[in-house]
Amino acid sequence: MGAVSGTAEVLRWEIPSLFRWLGVIDAALQEVGQELAWEREELNEVSVAVIEAVSNAIEHGNRFEPARSVQVELRASGRHLRFRVSDEGPGFASDRLDQPTPSPESPEFMMSRGRGLFIMRDIMDAIRIQREAGRFVVELDKELKAPVGTGH
């Protein structure tokens, strides 16, 4: 059965703050995408964006402290996806999200770091940051283009 319209399916994951656990989030995402019959290219893109958010939460948020957790929540209602990725760190100022993505012609284009937020913003429809219950939360919305299949 596809997602019942109106109600959201909610899934959550929590990992220690080490890059080694990124694969667990990724494997789960691939499985969710298959189960909900997301189109392959959209699944690829969405997972790239989420992995960026989780990578940042691990590195910048929790500074690789394994005792600090990164949490990922997905709410899927039909074609609408909302991811919430949270960490225990200080977060960043929201004006960082307003900077334009460097164009291939600009000198910064070949920078080796600093691409994560641009990737998330370019793939997802909306990105918001907020503080909630002592955690820093990055919220990512995406409306899937392709009609969602039956999943079975």
Partner 1 sequence: MNIKVREEEQVVIFDISGRIMGGPDSETFHNLVKENIAHGKKQILINLGKVNWINSTGLGILIAGYTSVKDADGQFKLVNISDRIESILMVTKLSGIFESFDSEAEAVASFGS
Ligand X SMILES: Nc1ncnc2c1ncn2[C@@H]1O[C@H](COP(=O)(O)OP(=O)(O)O)[C@@H](O)[C@H]1O
Find the shortest distance in angstroms from Cβ 99 to ligand X.
9
In whole angstroms, give the CA distance from residue 149 to residue 146: 9
Per-residue binder mask for partner 1 (CB under 8 A), 27-66, x = binder: -------------xx--xx-xx--xx--x---x-------
Q: Residue 19 binds which one of partner 1, its own copies, ligand X, none, with CB within 5 to 8 A depending on kind?
A: partner 1
> Site residues for partner 1, window 113-152 (CB under 8 A)?
113, 115-116, 118-119, 122-123
Token pair, residue 61, equals 């948020």
SS3 content of the chain, % helix, strand, coil (to 5): 35, 25, 35
Find the shortest distance in angstroms from Cβ 74 to its own copies.
10
Judge contact between 119 and 52, C-beta under 8 A.
Answer: yes
Phi, psi dihedral angles at 30 (to 5 degrees): -60, -40
Find the shortest distance in angstroms from Cβ 32 to its own copies.
6
